[in-house]
Amino acid sequence: MRRQRPWMVWLLGLLALPALALAAGCTRSSQASPQRGTAVVAFVDFSASVGGNDRVAFKREIEKQILPWLQPGDSFLLAPIHDKTLTEFRPLVEGELPPRAQFNGWMNNVIKFNRQAKETDARIVQVKETLQTQTAAALARSSQARYTDIFSSLQLAEKLFSAESRRKVLILMSDMIEDYPPYAFDQMKWTPTTTTKILSDLEAKGGIPDLRGVCIYVSGVSAPTVELANHIGHFWEAYFQKAGADLHPSRYAHVLLHWPPPNSCRPA
């Protein structure tokens, strides 16, 4: 067998480099995990039990915490809770931030990619500004509904998230006092069996939504008495557990706490 000269070995190795690099690039590209983003849905209570000052606080939480946190590829939807939540549903605010493209050294032209990236960043800023303006206008409305139909809002949330592949976050901005026939949480006599009975009634009527993989936040919790607040809080804890949702007690509060969502809040 003829022995290859050193310069031939060097030349063969040099010629092999592009093929090796291309193979490595393809491997990295095929193994890269897709950017899923987060779908954020917020329901705001427009019933008479929630005053204008409460909605000012909700507006501040959306403007200062939620909207600034949104990332490329995320979406935001704001909807009302009132006496016609289910029959006359219409989002107050809705928008989606464009995703950022992933640079591929083999496929992308650097100059063109950088120009498109700047355009995407400008579009993201524009969408956030529009969401903020529309949110301020929506929450400035003085209308107040007679009833608080939270249950219907949660059934709508199931539909909104049903085909969603991104991480799902639901924010309820409400005192959480359901007040829609046949339930009036602030007028009922709560006993040790009340929660079980309501859940059984709802389940029999198909009123428990499928919220598996949905991360829940509640802001605005209040009640006339501490005892009533505890009863209602225990009910919602049991309700969301039956619905399969992720509601940590620390995220059920008078204000929006522990935002942004932790990494553990992911689709099941």
Q: Report whether 95 contacts 66 (CB < 8 A).
A: no
**pLDDT for position 103:** 57
**pLDDT for position 225:** 96
Tell me the pLDDT tens digit for each residue of 153-199.
Answer: 999 999 999 989 999 999 999 999 999 999 999 999 999 999 999 99
Does residue 78 belong to any structural domain of this protein? yes
Does residue 139 belong to any structural domain of this protein? yes
Helix/strand/coil for 72: coil
Does residue 41 belong to any structural domain of this protein? no
Task: Check whether 202 has a pLDDT greater than 60.
Answer: yes
Q: Considering only residues 163 and 131, tell me which one the structure prediction assigns the higher pLDDT.
A: 131
Does residue 21 belong to any structural domain of this protein? no
Band of the pLDDT at 110, cuts 50, 70, 90?
A: low
Does residue 191 belong to any structural domain of this protein? yes
Q: How would you label 18-54 residue by residue, b for 16+ Cβ within 10 Å and e otherwise?
A: eeeeeeeeeeeeeeeeeeebbbbbbbbbbbebbeeeb
Q: Report whether 110 contacts 78 (CB < 8 A).
A: no
Q: How many CA atoms lie within 13 A of 129 on its CB side?
A: 6
- What's the Cα-to-Cα distance from 243 to each of 88, 154, 159, 211, 266, rounded to whole Å? 24, 10, 13, 5, 16
Q: 127 lies in which domain range?
A: 46-253
Does residue 104 belong to any structural domain of this protein? yes
Band of the pLDDT at 26, cuts 50, 70, 90?
A: very low
CB atoms under 10 Å from CB of 88, counted, come to 9
Q: Please list the alpha-helical segments (H only) found in the chain.
A: 6-31, 52-61, 67-69, 110-139, 150-161, 194-204, 226-243
First to last CA, the chain: 61
Spatial separation of the C-alpha atoms in residues 216 and 264, rounded to whole Å: 12
Spatial separation of the C-alpha atoms in residues 178 and 45, rounded to whole Å: 10
Q: Report whether 169 contacts 66 (CB < 8 A).
A: no
Does residue 83 belong to any structural domain of this protein? yes
**pLDDT for position 108:** 62
Contacts of 76 (CB under 8 A, 6+ apart): 40, 42, 66, 67, 70, 93, 94, 95, 96, 131
**pLDDT for position 81:** 92
Does residue 233 belong to any structural domain of this protein? yes
Number of domains in the chain: 1
Q: Report whether 213 contacts 83 (CB < 8 A).
A: no
